[in-house]
Amino acid sequence: MRLSTVRLSAFSFVAFLGLSLAAQAGSRPLALVYKGPGSCVSDGHCSEAAAAVADRAGFDVEFVGPKSHDMTLFREAAVYIQPGGNSTEVGEAMTEGMKRLLRDFVAEGGGYVGFCAGGFFAMSPFPGYPRLGLIRGDADGLEEDSPSIVSVSWTDGLRHHVYWEGGPFFILPRSSNFEVVSRYALNRKPASIRGEVGQGRVWVSGYHPEAPYDWRFHPTLEDSDGTKADLDMAVEMIRWSARAHPMRSRLR
């Protein structure tokens, strides 16, 4: 959900500025990252965090706003990333044309990755919740102090500690073709899910694997696993969704 503290450290800012310098034009697949209302532009820099992990995953990055209708840009892209923030603000700001473009992008083979609010946003719309409707089902808030480091467990029993701030768990109908990738240890609710929509792939999480170190710089937060393992999760989410030479999955 909304991230309330200033989180762009000198290190992460410099790292992000190096995105375009590090990649040769046309040599890497393209990731589109939402930046606009609802993506904590003024205080959390959620879009920059998502862009940084896309770069880490081997993608060039372009930001798109809530009214983007650039068909050429979407035809060139391999994956779209909806960062953390406030999903209702995103849904209210995004035009219906942009939402249709995103649904068509995925149906025709593009990837969608959603972190926290991006997970909320991907689910079925309801009155007062103007969501995208990529995934049939619902998302509900987790009852936990925010922000927190929470434990999630994978289907193979592996546990990992991840940064969480107001994110959801997911509610899927029995007929859903989506698989539960991880569950919150505290209540066994789905914390991350993935599946195919049309010809495309979608992977969303209620937590923030993309969270840089400075988001965790808080006296009450202790991540015994460290930042790298979480960033590797975010990288795998992006690469799997984009079908971009996916790493050998640790989730299977």
Is 251 among the domain residues? no
Is 250 among the domain residues? no
Q: Are 139 and 169 in contact (CB under 8 A)?
A: yes
Per the DSSP assignment, residues forming a β-bridge with 162 are 150
Q: Tokens 């509900």 — which residue?
A: 140
DSSP states along 55-84: HHTT-EEEEE-TT---HHHHHHEEEEEE-S
Q: Are 70 and 64 in contact (CB under 8 A)?
A: yes
Q: What is the pLDDT of residue 69?
A: 85
| Angle, CA 177 vertex, CA 126 and CA 207 arms, to 5° | 65
Is 252 among the domain residues? no
Q: Is the peptide bond before 147 cis (omega within 30 degrees of 0)?
A: yes
Q: Are 173 and 124 in contact (CB under 8 A)?
A: no
Is 36 among the domain residues? yes
Largest CA distance in the chain: 47
Is 122 among the domain residues? yes
Q: What is the pLDDT of residue 1?
A: 52
Q: What is the pLDDT of residue 188?
A: 94
Q: What is the pLDDT of residue 252?
A: 35
pTM for the model stands at 0.86
Number of domains making up the chain: 1
Q: Are 223 and 216 in contact (CB under 8 A)?
A: yes
Q: What is the pLDDT of residue 26?
A: 54
Cβ neighbours of residue 155 under 8 Å, at least 6 residues apart?
A: 179, 180, 181, 182, 251
Is 114 among the domain residues? yes
Which two structure tokens, joined as six digits, stand for 82?
Answer: 């909806």
Is 64 among the domain residues? yes
Query: Which has the closest alpha carbon to 192: 205, 202, 176?
Result: 205
User: CATH number for the domain including 26?
Assistant: 3.40.50.880
Q: What is the pLDDT of residue 77?
A: 97
Which two structure tokens, joined as six digits, stand for 185?
Answer: 């240890």
Encode the chain (252 residues) as per-residue pLDDT tens digits: 534 333 334 334 334 444 443 444 458 999 999 999 999 877 768 999 999 999 999 999 999 999 998 889 999 999 999 999 999 999 999 999 999 999 999 999 999 999 999 999 999 998 888 899 999 999 998 877 778 999 999 877 789 999 999 999 999 999 999 999 999 999 999 999 999 999 999 999 999 999 988 887 776 787 777 788 899 999 999 999 999 744 433 333
Q: What is the pLDDT of residue 217?
A: 72
Question: Which amino acid is located at 25 in the chain?
Answer: A
The CB density around residue 160, as the number of other CB atoms within 10 Å, is 20
Is 4 among the domain residues? no
Which two structure tokens, joined as six digits, stand for 176?
Answer: 């859903």
Return d(Cα 244, Cα 208) in angstroms, integer: 21
Query: Which has the closest alpha carbon to 171: 240, 120, 132?
Result: 120
The residue range of the domain holding 147 is: 10-242
Q: What is the pLDDT of residue 22?
A: 41
Query: What number of helices (H) and strands (E) belong to the chain?
Result: 8, 11
Q: What is the pLDDT of residue 146?
A: 78
